[in-house]
Amino acid sequence: MSDSHKTGAMSTQSLVTQIAALQDYQRYEDLHWSGTFEEYLGMVRHNPRIARTSHERLYDMVLDAGTQTYVDNKKKITRYKFFSDETHGGRDAIYGLDIALMRLVNVLKAAAMRYGTEKRIILLHGPVGSSKSTIVRLLKQGLEEYSRSADGALYTYEWALPEELRYLTAGEETFRSPMNEEPLKLIPPEWRQQAIEAFGLFDPGDPEAGRKPFRPYVPGQLNPACRFIFKELLAIYRGDWAKVIQHVRVRRMLISEEDRVGIGTFQPKDEKNQDATELTGDINYRRIAEYGSDTDPRAFNFDGEFNVANRGLIEFVEILKLDVAFLYDLLGATQERKIKPKKFAQTDIDEVIIGHTNEAEYERLLENKFMEALRDRTVKIDIPYITKLQEEIKIYVKDYNPERVRGRFIAPHTLEVAAMWAVLSRLEDPKKQNLSVLQKLKLYDGKTMPGFTQDSVKELRKEAKREGMDGVSPRYVQDKIANCLVSDRGQANINPFLLMNELESGLRNHSLITSEDQRKRYRELLAVTKQEYEDIVKNEVQRAISADEEAISRLCANYIDNVKAYTQREKVKNQYTGQDEEPDERLMRSIETKIDIAESRKDDFRREIMHYIGALAVEGKQFDFRTNERLYKALELKLFEDQKDSIKLTSLVSSVVDKESQEKIDVVKQRLIRDYGYDESSASDVLTYVASIFARGEMKGD
């Protein structure tokens, strides 16, 4: 039994009390604040931004999470941290789409400033699995949390009626604004703006403090039900608005998708089943009996998605699958910012309308004459796939890291090769003849290559118009990784080969592949990826083999002794025999040729090195090969060449390994584990694999 457990058991407090202590009462109070209209006006005067429109609020929410700017291929780019989802540890982070997200935020900004885009549907358009839903989910969830913060707080109202007036609400004491309207709407539109101006319900701004001016913008009428109650009360009080307002209670409003407050989602079901009341609400038949008329606004259920989403955001999933019958509702909601339920008065709305759609459906929209009006009222934002390898890798690392995947080891480069293949599939073949698509991928990923500048990368991006709009989706890759992780073929770990096989076999029955050509291309790119993986691990093993500092140091000393003797025309003492011998020309050349020092240049090179060592000696410093990059590389390569044979890596292929070789191999293996993130078994695998590459090379007479 742990210590804390014991203390808990001995404590006199009940568990309920202890759990209750976790609760934050002050926060609860704040979140459930309610007060009079007068108090609310005081709050608006203090901070007019509590009365923002839905577009203003959404834009501020994104901005409040902070920004960061950087330069990519000479282009200044702003990253909106909101989409990194840091508040949830990056759970829904969007990677590699900064440019598309910049466009989206600019549309929100223009809408916040009422430049027209607030009267449009924001349409996220892109291939399947390009994170469209994730982006909308972030916005929805962001709004929920923002409405709970001090900066994002918003308010609505309800009617609170004394006994004698409850006939207005069929006996209920309170009657909530069914569309969670802004309380300032209770000021009649004729003098609403004047009131805002005259009583300082705005912020003139403060350039010195960097605060922009702000005026609440609150257009439109109350919803029909509240308008009805309002009018009745006004008649009772003979037109005295101040008396009517006494029956208003302002409440803080918490946006919540679950509670259907401020967030609506509409997903077209099968075509015959679509019903306009899902969008704009319906008559409540039980209430008709209470109010005595089927046209009484109080007998209406404001539970359509447009009603529910008021003050926040409505999401249209696969918006273009929408039946034409809904089109007019949607158009009115967008352009007029009003909805018109069947047999019922028009109702003003204030909400952000976001839809998403994939390529195929969008093509249909372009062909459909009926949809022309819709097309005209949408701002389309392309959400493509990622085309930067490092960013794509992040998607998979997020989901399949050692934290999340327990009990199964994912060998180094496994996620990387999958990401590489996915990105390759999205790139258009470069028009430049001497550039392969793999090289293009590397350039996009920020690698440098002789003959290519940032300008040429920009050029490459420009010539490929549709790049990122086709190819393999991250979801396909995620599914295949998941398959590998749960497959029961006895391997304790998953490695690039297993995953590449899985990716390949999935192609056979992949529903999104439309032609044999495409399948063939994906296969070829898998071969390109395999080849690249081979190069990566070959390099890694080479470096692990020659990562023996002591051996390099010995080799270096030996080389320097010989060079010194050579330049000074002396002899070298043989360490074993003690005899003086001529400098070892073969040894020196075998090192120099590794870095392409030609025979004719060798004297210069050797003299340079001696000068360098001499200059150091004058300063009282010791020569260290690590400070001379070229020499270091030459020594590393030479050592690798020597060790490759002495380690007899290739013997791994033949299953009989002598004890001495095995010991040397084990050293290399330990380096792979220590420096490159392998575990025992994946290190063995990779060594065997690289050995087989070398064996192949030797057979070819390499």
Ligand X SMILES: Nc1ncnc2c1ncn2[C@@H]1O[C@H](COP(=O)(O)OP(=O)(O)OP(=O)(O)O)[C@@H](O)[C@H]1O
Find the helix or strand (DSSP H, E) in which 154 lies: strand 154-160
Report the residue number, 132 or 426, with the smaller CB distance to ligand X.
132
> Which residue, 297 or 355, has its beta carbon nearer to Mg ion?
355
Strand order in the sheet with 248-253: 34-36, 248-253, 154-160, 174-176
CB 284 within 8 A of CB 293: no
- Position of minimal CB gap to ligand X: 133
Residues whose CB is less than 8 angstroms from the CB of residue 300 and which lie 6 or more positions away in sequence, other chains included: 178, 224, 225, 281, 282, 283, 284, 287, 341, 344
Residue 543 partner contact from ligand X, Mg ion, none using kind-dependent CB cut-offs of 5 to 8 Å: none
Residue 382 Cβ, how far from ligand X at the closest point, in Å? 11
- Cβ 357 to ligand X, closest distance in Å? 8
Give the separation between CA 125 and CA 145, rounded to whole angstroms: 26
CB of 138 to ligand X, least distance (A): 10
Give yes or no for a contact between 93 and 84, defined as CB atoms under 8 angstroms apart.
yes
52 vs 125 by CB, closer to ligand X: 125
In whole angstroms, the minimum distance from the beta carbon of 465 to Mg ion comes to: 24
DSSP assignment letter at 2: -
Q: In angstroms, give the least distance from the CB of 126 to ligand X.
A: 6
Q: How far is the CB of 133 from Mg ion (least distance, A)?
A: 3
Q: Which is nearer to Mg ion, 478 or 553 (CB)?
A: 478
Of residues 399 and 680, the one with the C-beta less far from ligand X: 399
Per-residue b/e over 379-418, b at no fewer than 16 CB within 10 Å? bbbbbbbbbbbebbbbbbeeebeeeeeeeebbbbbbbbbb
Provide the sign of the torsion angle of the four alpha carbons 619, 624, 629, 631, taken in this order. positive
93/687 with CB nearer Mg ion: 93
Q: How far is the CB of 424 from ligand X (least distance, A)?
A: 16
Task: Report the alpha-carbon distance of residue 173 to residue 219 in Å, rounded.
Answer: 28
246 binds Mg ion (CB under 5 A): no
Tokens of 174: 């309170």
The interface partner of residue 333, options being ligand X, Mg ion, none and the CB cut-off 5 to 8 Å by kind, is none
Could you tell me how many helices (H) and strands (E) the chain has, helices first?
A: 29, 19
Taking CB within 5 to 8 Å according to partner kind, which of Mg ion, ligand X, none is near residue 95? ligand X
E strands in 292-408: 300-301, 313-316, 338-339, 347-348, 352-358, 378-382
Shortest Å, Cβ 475 to Mg ion? 10
Q: Look at phi and psi of residue 73 and say left if phi exceeds 0, alpha if psi is from -120 to 50, else beta.
A: left
* Cβ pair 497, 503 in contact under 8 A: no
Locus of tokens 């020196």: 588
In angstroms, the CA 690 to CA 694 distance is 6
User: Got the DSSP string for 71-117?
Assistant: EETTEEEEEEGGGGTGGGTTTT---S-HHHHHHHHHHHHHHHTTSSG
What does the alpha-carbon distance between residue 617 and residue 611 come to, in Å, rounded to a whole number?
10
- Contact 173/160 with Cβ under 8 angstroms? yes
Tokens (6 digits) for 440? 């293009």
With respect to ligand X, which residue has the nearer C-beta, 126 or 224?
A: 126
Shortest Å, Cβ 82 to ligand X: 14
Q: Are 96 and 392 in contact (CB under 8 A)?
A: yes
Residue placing its CB nearer to Mg ion in the complex, 129 or 152: 129
Between 320 and 349, name the residue whose CB sits nearer to ligand X.
Answer: 320
287 binds, among ligand X, Mg ion, none (CB under 5 to 8 A by kind): none
Nearer to Mg ion, 364 or 607 (CB): 364
Site for Mg ion in 566-595 (CB under 5 A): none
Question: Which CB atom, from 158 or from 315, has the smaller least distance to ligand X?
Answer: 315
Residue 4 C-beta: closest distance to ligand X, Å: 37
CB 158 within 8 A of CB 249: yes
Instruction: Give 206's strand partners.
Output: 211
Of the pair 133, 454, the CB lying nearest Mg ion is at 133
Q: What does the alpha-carbon distance between residue 353 and residue 373 come to, in Å, rounded to a whole number?
A: 16
Pick what 73 binds: Mg ion, ligand X, none; C-beta below 5 to 8 Å, kind-dependent: none
| Longest pairwise C-alpha distance within the chain | 124
130 binds, among ligand X, Mg ion, none (CB under 5 to 8 A by kind): ligand X
Least spacing, CB of residue 100 vs Mg ion, in Å:
15
* # residues near Mg ion by CB under 5 A: 1
Nearest distance in Å: CB 131, Mg ion: 8
Q: Are 590 and 632 in contact (CB under 8 A)?
A: no
- If one asks whether residue 78 binds Mg ion (CB under 5 A), the answer comes out as no
Comparing CB distances to ligand X, the nearer of 127 and 341 is 127
Q: How far is the CB of 276 from Mg ion (least distance, A)?
A: 24
Which of helix, strand or coil describes residue 172?
coil
Taking CB positions, which residue lies at the least distance from Mg ion? Answer: 133
Spatial separation of the C-alpha atoms in residues 275 and 115, rounded to whole Å: 33
Stretch that binds Mg ion, among 54-62, 133-141, 303-311, 638-646 (CB under 5 A): 133-141
The rounded distance, in Å, linking the Cα atoms of 270 and 511 is: 21
* Residue numbers at the binding site for ligand X (CB under 6 A): 94-97, 126, 128-134, 358, 386, 395, 474-475
For the bound state, the minimum distance from the C-beta of residue 429 to ligand X, rounded and expressed in Å, comes to 23
Which CB sits closer to ligand X, 360 or 617? 360
Measuring CA to CA, how many Å separate 429 from each of 324, 395, 446, 521?
Answer: 40, 24, 18, 11
Among 34, 106, 133, 651, interactor with Mg ion by CB under 5 A: 133
Positions in the binding site for Mg ion (CB under 5 A) = 133
